[in-house]
Structure 1
């Protein structure tokens, strides 16, 4: 498969609530060839210590739409557990969770975008427990 005949995709995640890369977030990549086509799961990866997925699968020839599915709930559950432990260790009187609501509002983030052959698409996810934003990076 020629790289000029297909698009390529990369991503990274920044946890804006901590000002750090989000490590260990599972990312699944799917593709389809046209609006009416069915999604084809291509595989996935997880973000590294720098918040990057460096080994996402290649897109098949003819791909027109791509979807990145980010499983963010397990990341935040682990983060909240570590934060609560750190806070409890620092001050035994402190409550483990100051927010009585759910720990994360968006348990999953799905980003769908169009691609053209030969182009590279870097799609960063800026994430916090109650919101996210995404854009086409470089």
Structure 2
């Protein structure tokens, strides 16, 4: 069972990505939770604990860049991941208008 957090940084400005809509779903598409990043580009999603299984985080990156008058390539970024007994899972996203990077954080 896992608690899930994420943090989005805008690599073009070197600042947190504020107000990005993020959805947590089962890999089959059933939505579990949705929220937007805070002033530090962070948020916690889902219930206190996620059962083991496959999930996805979908970040509304196109809307974020449009709101900041920046042309971008990816309308959304979806990161699929597996929960397997971890107590906490952190999925950070480093974002730019034409690329992104993610990893399993701590």
Equivalent pair of 2:50/2:83 in contact (CA under 8 Å): no
Equivalent pair of 2:3/2:50 in contact (CA under 8 Å): no
Q: Give the superposed CA RMSD.
A: 1.5
Instruction: Give TM-score, length-normalised by structure 2.
Output: 0.90
- Indicate yes or no: 2:79 matched with 1:122: no
CA offset at residue 7 of structure 1?
A: 1.6
Instruction: Give TM-score, length-normalised by structure 1.
Output: 0.70
| Residue segments in structure 1 that go unaligned for 5+ positions in a row | 1-5, 33-37, 82-102
CA offset at residue 19 of structure 1?
A: 0.1
Structure 1 CA distance, aligned partners of 2:61 and 2:23? Answer: 12
Structure 2 match to 1:53: 43
CA offset at residue 117 of structure 1?
A: 2.2
| Residue segments in structure 2 that go unaligned for 5+ positions in a row | none
Equivalent pair of 2:92/2:103 in contact (CA under 8 Å): yes
How many residue pairs get aligned? The number is 105
Structure 2 match to 1:21: 16
Structure 1 CA distance, aligned partners of 2:9 and 2:50? Answer: 28
Runs of 4+ in structure 1 displaced over 6 angstroms? Answer: none
Write 1 or 2 for the structure with the bigger share of helix: 1
